[in-house]
Amino acid sequence: MALFLRLRVSAYVICEDDDGRVLLSRWIGYDDGPQWSLAGGGLDPVEHPQEGAVRELFEETGYACELDALIGVDAEHFVSDRHVPDGYDGVDVHAVRIFYRGHVTGGELTPEVGGTSDLAAWLSREELAHLPAVPGVKLGLAMYDDGDGVPVAPREPNPPVPDGVRVEHRVAAYGRGPDGDAVGGLLEHGADPAEAIRAAFGEQRDLDVTVGRPRAATSSVHLSEDETSACWIIRLDYDVRRSSSGRPG
């Protein structure tokens, strides 16, 4: 079976109001109907995750926001039968989701029109428990409840690439130990970032490590010398610590 390889990096923001309600958008869904989702979605080409998270929240809810912290990253590898290009039997999807905690700074509740969502609302946890929701909602809220995360500062958008430049999209994952050394590299398609870091420490340092929560998600664009192509890399950095065994298992 011929599968088309697709890397999708997305970014989401969790905002709560003074009553503890969560800002959500309703994804229009497929055959199983609409489902509630965290505000967010796929990054545009060469977009930084922070920039994409803020843009997506505005498009889906009408609110401007500021990001407070990076709270987690999730990766999933699966085969899909949707949006299959001609000549392929399916899509081999590597989905990387980046989650932020944020707060609303302006705007007013306004559902998206003509996009992938059709409603926006502030919902309590109790209300949400009785409504159809995508798995990412439960996953993101668990990260939100698990601590403050790593603070993030506003940043300037990545500069756009010239028209006609082919963009290759990659994800890299690195672990940083107490000594400050960063170990890791570009991920193979479908690889889990934490598992790839653990394997890299075993191969490059002969160490067995435990990979903690992500400490940073950054983005860089590297233009080729002839300016006909560019490599857009989303870099995920994690804290690691040595496991009790000290050596790979």
pLDDT-derived band at 248 (thresholds 50, 70, 90) equals: low
Q: How far apart are CA 55 and CA 208, in angstroms?
A: 39
pLDDT number for residue 247? 56
Predicted local distance difference test score (pLDDT) of residue 245: 60
Please tell me the pTM assigned to this model: 0.95
* Segment 15-65, tens digit of pLDDT: 999 999 999 999 998 888 999 999 999 999 999 999 999 999 999 999 999
pLDDT digits (tens, 9 = 90+) for 162-218: 999 999 999 999 999 877 889 999 999 999 999 999 999 999 999 999 999 999 999
Q: What mean pLDDT comes out for the span 149-169?
A: 92
Query: What is the per-residue pLDDT across 121-148, written as a single tens digit (0 to 9) for each?
Result: 999 999 999 999 999 999 999 999 998 9
pLDDT for the residue numbered 233: 98
* Range among 67-71, 152-156, 180-184 with highest mean pLDDT value: 67-71
